[in-house]
Amino acid sequence: MKTQKKVFSVLFTLMVFLFASNTSANVLHDETVTFKVYGNCEMCKKNIETALLKNQNIKKANWDVKTKMLTVVYDPHTISVDNIHKLVANAGYDTDTIKAPDDAYNKLHGCCQYKRVDTGKSK
Task: By CB under 5 A, name the binding residues for Cu ion.
Answer: 40-41, 43-44, 112
Which residues, including other chains, have CB under 8 Å from residue 84's CB and lie 6 or more apart? 33, 52, 58, 72, 74
Burial per residue of 2-24, b for 16 or more beta-carbon CB atoms within 10 angstroms, e otherwise? eeeeeeeeeeeeeeeeeeeeeee
- Least distance between Cu ion and beta carbon 115 (Å): 12
Residue with Cβ nearer Cu ion (44 or 89): 44
Residue (7 or 41) nearer to Cu ion, CB: 41
Residue, CB closest to Cu ion: 112
* Total H helices, total E strands in the chain: 4, 3
d(CA 31, CA 54): 18
CB of 59 to Cu ion, least distance (A): 24
Report the nearest approach of Cu ion to the CB of residue 31 (Å).
28
- Of 21 and 106, which CB lies nearer to Cu ion in the complex structure? 106
Cβ-based nearer residue to Cu ion, 74 or 105: 105
- Closest separation between CB of residue 112 and Cu ion, Å? 3
